[in-house]
Amino acid sequence: MSEFDILAVVTGFLTIALVLWFGWQNRPGSAAEVSRTIVDAAETAEVLVSAAEQLWLSGKLPKEGRFPYVLNRLVAEFPAINQQQLEATIEAAVYWLKLSSENR
């Protein structure tokens, strides 16, 4: 094995070790924390969906930019929640926004 190969292997192991260590450090402490994070994400999604709608109505955000606007902010705010769950949270927030506007 050359020095380069040894360096590549050591670097790979260190990278994996750091990823695992950061994951361990950022794990939820309890089911209550997980639940609270999910509720926080849902509440934040409702606010962001309303904000995106207002930005679109005012001409400050293109129609097709609403979903990415919300998703990017949720990903930044809740990195522990996977993207598919955040997308579902956005869809639910959109549903409730539409439902509330129909009942006015």
If one counts every other C-beta atom within 10 angstroms of the C-beta of residue 66, the result is 19
Phi, psi of 17 (to 5 degrees): -60, -40
In DSSP notation, 66-102 reads HHHHHHHHHHHH-TTS-HHHHHHHHHHHHHHHHHHHH
**What are the mean pLDDT values of the chain's consecutive 10-residue runs (104 residues total)?**
63 60 61 85 94 96 96 93 92 89 75
What's the pTM value of the predicted model, to 2 decimals? 0.69
According to the model, what pLDDT value does residue 17 have? Answer: 59
